[in-house]
Amino acid sequence: MRHNDMEGNGSIRQIAGDNVHIVVAFARSAAGVHPGNSDEDEQMTDETGIFLGLASDGRLQYLNLRRANRHGLIAGATGTGKTVTLQGIAEKFSAAGVPVFLADVKGDLAGIAMAGSPTAKNADRLVARAKEVGLEDYSYADNPAIFWDLYGEQGHPIRTTVTEMGPLLLARLMGLNEVQEGVLTIAFRYADEEGLLLLDLSDLQSMLAYCAENADALSVRYGNVTKASVGSIQRQLLQLDSQGGAHFFGEPALDIHDFIGVDDQGRGYVNILAADKLMQSPKLYATFLLWLMSELFETLPEVGDPDKPKLVFFFDEAHLLFDDAPKALADKIEQVVRLIRSKGVGVYFISQNPIDIPEDVAAQLGNRVQHALRAFTPRDQKAIAAAADTFRINPALNVVTAITELKVGEALVSVLQDDGSPSIVERTLIAPPRSRVAPLDPKERAIIQSISPFAGKYDNAINRESAQEILAARGNAAAAAAQAAKAQVEADKAAAVQARVEAKQQEQQLKEQARQDAIAAREAAQPSAIDRAVQSATRAAASSVGRQVANELGRAVFGGGRRSSSGGIAGQLVRGILGGLFK
């Protein structure tokens, strides 16, 4: 907070402080600093503000806690001190009882969990800077930290469910058109009506596959669903999955209130997200950050402007949120940033170049710390001009020139005053952090992780029955039923064929049996060999007797003696008849 006001005539109003402030001013004067005083100087303390540093004219610079939820920007070229500034502000928020969330892109912000050391690299410079800004009581201190990691490697995993993300946010993140967004909404609606939990990306992929297979039926019920639209959504999901989305979607889902807590000393927890690996997946990084802000906005109650924020976010490499982002996504970010202020949440973007932040979002950032920029390219020159134009004019300071001349650890600072107006920009030497300005080694991280208040709560994934399993079970049941029906049809066919074969065989057997019976009957009807012999003998005897009788009758009828011709013929006739009778 600057400590002078511009009155109507442009003169600077300075008011002497009380005895306490005079002692502080005397100590700073001994160090070669000559601060001025104002009414706000008297009111702003470490309990009501975040000490940022000392302005070039000797005035103290504070970030008003009552205005800290109006968001902010920390910008500057590589190596100008942005990370150290971020760390110092974050630990002061923690000391004031404000929980902090920050993305650790390079791995060095994790050192905020450990106290600094006089043997550390650049320790002498930090001590010298502390004296220069008047921190006579400068000492090293740690901060209560909790480590998080979307991949679960360097901290507690952070997960959410696909259902909690919702179709609208997913559609915007994937850049879907209106038709594809409508199909995705139908998939969510059907899953909700059918009690199909969408927990991870596998669930959503299974749901989309089901929609494609049943497009006609769903079109009748909800509206047009095409396989082409479903295929486009699935391809976008594959891109998200390839960047590690499977690690982010699942259970147990993060309880957003676990970010908002204090330790037993009343210090706000510093939640540190390991983002070094995450930065290689910009779509996943943007997905997570936007979800996090949206979740906070939907979950936290309205508080207006509290005495201090409920939670403060620091998003490093903020340009990744906006690079190649569709307009709908950028609009969503701008909306969340604008509205989340009333929830008591402050959002601070950290970027190398202030023009990386879209204008609609940058307009919401009331507290600004601008480190040095380099005018090597036309784009750099444009960024310098843009940064200079965002500050409230200081007649005594050429902002454009100063931005290129700032030393490491120096910055142009303008923050919101108690009445909500921005302070006049001042060239300021930033106060150093008290914690370690270096990474943790794996052993130190493991020790801190082991004493985390959430140890064991999120570390093991839960895979309960959800859409993928239910749809798979339905598919398996349908396939089994179809297979059973097919098997029954095949069995019926086989049975019919077998019945025909058996009938034919039975018919053949019957025919064969009839033939055998006929043969047997014929054989039974024929006389035996003895019978035939008797019959033959009988016929022979009868024939012989018949001839004899016939001969005798013939002679009797036709007279004995010589046979006449007629008698011969008649005799033969009688013999034939009698012979036939005796056969």
**What pLDDT, in 10s, does the model give residues 158-187?**
999 999 999 988 888 788 899 999 999 999
Total Cβ atoms within 10 A of residue 530: 8
pLDDT for the residue 43: 55
d(CA 241, CA 10): 58
- 287 and 401: one domain? yes
- The DSSP H or E segment spanning 75 is strand 72-75
- The DSSP H or E segment spanning 411 is strand 410-414
Token pair in block for residue 506: 């039975």
Domain-embedded: residue 16: no
Torsion, CA 52, CA 55, CA 60, CA 63, rounded to 10: -40
pLDDT for the residue 12: 28
Strand partners, 313: 101, 347
Percentage of the chain lying above the pLDDT 90 cut: 53
The answer to whether 251 and 461 have CB atoms below 8 angstroms apart is: yes
Token pair in block for residue 267: 């210090």
**Where a domain ends, among 189, 212, 245?**
245
Tokens 């007629």 correspond to 566
Summarised one tens digit per residue, pLDDT across range 439-477 is 999 999 999 999 999 999 999 999 999 999 999 998 888
Domain-embedded: residue 152: yes
Total Cβ atoms within 10 A of residue 441: 9
- 310 and 427: one domain? yes
- Is the pLDDT at 257 greater than 90? The verdict is yes
Domain-embedded: residue 121: no
Q: Does this model's pTM top 0.85?
A: no
Count of residues in the chain: 583
- Is the pLDDT at 287 greater than 50? The verdict is yes
Tokens 């055998």 correspond to 516
Give residue 12's Cα distance to chain centre: 55
DSSP letter for 136, please.
Answer: T
**Where a domain ends, among 245, 273, 288?**
245
Domain-embedded: residue 513: yes
Domain-embedded: residue 516: yes
Lowest average pLDDT, out of 22-26, 136-140, 275-279, 432-436, goes to: 22-26
Tokens 């930065």 correspond to 279
- 405 and 481: one domain? no
- 284 and 398: one domain? yes
Range of 501's domain?
465-526
Torsion, CA 206, CA 207, CA 208, CA 212, rounded to 10: 100
Provide mean pLDDT across the span 34-39.
40
- 236 and 259: one domain? no
pLDDT for the residue 360: 87
Give residue 229's Cα distance to chain centre: 20
Domain-embedded: residue 131: no
Into how many domains does the chain fold? 4
- 149 and 273: one domain? yes
Summarised one tens digit per residue, pLDDT across range 522-580 is 877 777 677 777 777 777 766 666 677 667 766 766 565 554 554 555 556 656 665 55
Sheet holding 49-55, edge to edge: 60-64, 49-55, 426-430, 410-414, 367-370, 72-75, 345-351, 311-315, 100-104, 270-274, 145-148
Strand partners, 369: 74, 413
Do the bridges between strand 410-414 and strand 367-370 make them parallel or antiparallel, or are there none, so unpaired?
antiparallel
- 241 and 259: one domain? no
- 76 and 181: one domain? no
Residue 95's domain is classified under what CATH number? 3.40.50.300
Token pair in block for residue 581: 């009778």
417-421, 428-432, 482-486 — most confident range: 428-432
For 351: left if phi > 0, alpha if psi spans -120 to 50, otherwise beta; the answer is beta
- Give percent helix, percent strand, percent coil of the chain, each to the nearest 5: 55, 10, 35
Largest CA distance in the chain: 200
**Where a domain ends, among 482, 502, 526?**
526
Domain-embedded: residue 50: no
- Residue 349's SS3 state is strand
Burial letters 56-88, b for 16+ CB under 10 A, else e: ebbbbbbbbbbbbbbbbbbbbbeebbbbbbbbb
Q: How far is CA 131 from CA 32, 44, 256, 411, 429, in A?
A: 10, 20, 39, 17, 11
Domain-embedded: residue 228: yes
- 480 and 405: one domain? no
The residues, any chain, with a CB within 8 Å of residue 148's CB and separated by 6 or more, are: 155, 156, 157, 158, 271, 272, 273, 274
Q: How far is CA 466 from CA 125, 169, 198, 244, in A?
A: 56, 21, 6, 20
Burial letters 270-304, b for 16+ CB under 10 A, else e: bbbbbbbebeebbbbbbbbbbbbbbbbbeebeeee
Average of per-residue pLDDT values in the chain: 84
- 488 and 425: one domain? no
- 516 and 444: one domain? no
Q: Tell me which amino acid residue 558 is.
A: F
Summarised one tens digit per residue, pLDDT across range 8-24 is 333 322 323 333 333 33
- 226 and 280: one domain? no
